[in-house]
Amino acid sequence: MSPLEIWTYSIVGLTFAIYIGIAIWARAGSTSEFYVAGGGVHPVANGMATAADWMSAASFISMAGMIAFGGYGGSVFLMGWTGGYVLLALLLAPYLRKFGKFTVPEFIGDRYYANSARVVAVICLILASVTYVIGQMTGIGVAFGRFLGISYEMGIVAGMGIVAVYAILGGMKGITYTQIAQYVVLIFAYTIPAIFISLNLTGNPIPQLGLGSEYAPDGVASGMSLLEKLDQVVTDLGFKEYTTQVMGSTLNMFVYTLSLMIGTAGLPHVIIRFFTVPKVADARYSAGWALVFIAILYTTAPAVGAMARLNLMDTIQIGPVGEESSNLAYDERPDWFKRWETTGLLKYEDKNGDGLIQYYDDKNAEFAAKAEGFGWKGNEMVTVNNDIMVLANPEIAKLPDWVIALVVAGGLAAALSTAAGLLLAISSAISHDLLKGVFMPHITEKKELMAGRLSMIGAIVLAGYLGMNPPGFAAGTVAIAFGLAASSIFPALMLGIFAKRMNKEGAISGMVAGITVTLLYVFQHKGILFIPGTEFLMPDMGMGENWFFGISPNAFGAIGALVNFMVALLVSALTAPPPEHIQHLVEDVRIPRGAGVATGH
């Protein structure tokens, strides 16, 4: 066993032991503890748990990769995901906490005085959550497979086993305290390598400042900033300038950001975290603390992305473009390159038989003509997956083995924490909203708790199966999950809180219309965008054929939300208003005092 494997097994094993220990300590003994951790979580602790719940494999593994290859365009994820928490803090969290229920479908069912509305909300919740959890299982499989020497499938099974222990035993109570530990693991795993690399490239130990500092590898001043150097390196090889690159059109970037924002505010596994605090004011404080904890990683991600891209380019392009010795010889490729080739996430093809690696933008006609003069026959790095950047960056930068092992543990913590939150949202929708709320309203608390645990087992098995066999429309992306939540759940919550005239007919029609339009658009364009087994967040860098005003499927949730709002308001205006007590309920929910005093019963 190599030193890296010893470090990896030791650190990952230690973190798993901590998670299991917390699960045994924080066993849930009631439905209140299983669904909302007893409603007694401190807002700071809840903010940390929320941050871990939120920062998934996509945030930890994929976002920096997207920024590395998308440049400025990758900022849609930073703005969209953090902006969603502002919406949550201001428009949803305190009001939903005051309503005093366990789940999002329960709020929708009571607010719209109909089990049919609750069932529609459950369907929308499951569609969004299952789509999202596929990405987490993919991240678990990739991390296990690459660093622990086991198959992708066995990696998913191992991840399922760990989640099963602390989610089934503890429910929200166990998940909350486990997520606090997972946050500590993932934030150290993300920032420590970033500090090392920032020191190596700029001499500045703070990555956020290093991004704007002078490029001075190993202390040798270059006279230009790190971003100027990166712009020079990528444009010399025909790629778009890093600091001005956008994703498709400006309209697409705007709609994409909006979709991520309202999708964040509509994701049930995020919303239910605000049901776990003691008071209404604590829900808002929790959202603020969550933003603080998230910002530590999210402000580091641009530095990680830029530095990873520069390290990768410098590794392969070892001299001035076009010179005989300008490219790395394939036989002399470093060990990290060989290891990642075995995963299929990095692939090389010697197109001109010279044994050197030519890595450039062969879609750039002007540069392709120059490359032909050098004897290059096309970009020979036929696959450079975005998702390797965070995991491979410490290896590329030649950091110590323990740092690489820590990154693995961080990636697994991010994927496991979000997977647990999503699985709890799914299981509670089945046991509390469908079983208790619709089919068996008189079930005892003990039996409901058992049903919740059985539902969790079923959700874990389903998530594992879909992680190994992802459906075509969802394979490789979590952005679609945000679109589904944005187009279905977010408008129903907003109208339920701020439009007392909104009735059940309008809400149900809006949810059905919004999610249907979004799903149809995604399915229509899946052949353009989705390639099973590629990456968590597809780049959307080009302009797809027949895209509606150039809007990509990943960004279409905002359009679905607009359809939802329009249909809901129109249908509501044409049908009878809700009962008087429901209208009073809406007014009571918006009064800024009390905790759990508003009720639809």
Give per-residue pLDDT as tens, 239-254.
Answer: 888 888 776 677 888 8
Give per-residue pLDDT as tens, 155-189.
Answer: 788 878 888 887 777 778 888 888 899 899 999 98
Instruction: Compute the distance between CA of residue 429 and CA of residue 431 in angstroms, rounded to an integer.
Output: 6
What residues contact residue 324 under an 8 Å CB cut-off, 6+ apart?
Answer: none
pLDDT band per the 50, 70, 90 thresholds, residue 441: confident
Indicate the range of 26-35, 185-194, 283-292, 360-369 predicted with least confidence: 26-35
Residue 477 is predicted with a pLDDT of 59
Single-letter amino acid code for the residue at 251:
L
Q: Which helix (H) or strand (E) holds 371?
A: helix 365-374
Instruction: Compute the distance between CA of residue 365 and CA of residue 341 in angstroms, rounded to an integer.
Output: 28
Residue 532 is predicted with a pLDDT of 32
Q: To 5 degrees, how large is the angle CA 286–CA 291–CA 295?
A: 150
Q: Could you tell me the two tokens for 478? A: 């979590």
- Please state, rounded to an integer, the average pLDDT across all residues of the chain: 82
Instruction: Compute the distance between CA of residue 24 and CA of residue 30 in angstroms, rounded to an integer.
Output: 15
Q: Where are the domains of the chain?
A: 3-308+396-590
Give per-residue pLDDT as tens, 24-56.
Answer: 887 777 777 777 777 788 989 999 988 888 777
pLDDT band per the 50, 70, 90 thresholds, residue 207: very high
Instruction: Compute the distance between CA of residue 285 and CA of residue 276 in angstroms, rounded to an integer.
Output: 12
Q: By percentage, how much of the chain surpasses pLDDT 90? A: 18
pLDDT band per the 50, 70, 90 thresholds, residue 495: very high
Superfamily the domain 3-308+396-590 falls into: Sodium/glucose cotransporter (1.20.1730.10)
pLDDT band per the 50, 70, 90 thresholds, residue 535: very low
**Mean pLDDT in residue range 361-383:** 87
Of 423, 414, 424, give the one whose Cα is nearest residue 536.
414
In 375-503, which residue ranges form alpha helices assigned H by DSSP?
388-396, 401-428, 445-468, 479-498
In 113-221, which residue ranges form alpha helices assigned H by DSSP?
115-147, 152-202, 207-210
Question: Does the pLDDT of residue 421 top 70, yes or no?
Answer: yes
Residue 560 is predicted with a pLDDT of 93
Residue 533 is predicted with a pLDDT of 34
Cβ neighbourhood burial of 159 (10 Å; 0-12, 13-18, 19+): buried
Residue with tokens 């693995």: 408
Instruction: Compute the distance between CA of residue 534 and CA of residue 537 in angstroms, rounded to an integer.
Output: 9
Do residues 489 and 125 make contact, with C-beta atoms less than 8 angstroms apart?
yes
Question: Does the pLDDT of residue 542 top 60, yes or no?
Answer: no
Indicate the range of 228-237, 272-281, 496-505, 528-537 predicted with least confidence: 528-537
**Mean pLDDT in residue range 467-495:** 76
Instruction: Compute the distance between CA of residue 59 and CA of residue 81 in angstroms, rounded to an integer.
Output: 9
Residue 575 is predicted with a pLDDT of 95
Residue with tokens 């960004």: 555
Write the CA distances from 139 to 144, 145, 301, integer angstroms.
8, 10, 18
Question: Does the pLDDT of residue 15 top 80, yes or no?
Answer: yes
Averaging pLDDT over each range in 26-35, 226-235, 310-319, 543-552, which range is the top one? 226-235
Terminal alpha carbon distance of the chain:
62
Residue 202 is predicted with a pLDDT of 92
Do residues 489 and 121 make contact, with C-beta atoms less than 8 angstroms apart?
yes
What pTM, to 2 d.p., does this model score?
0.81
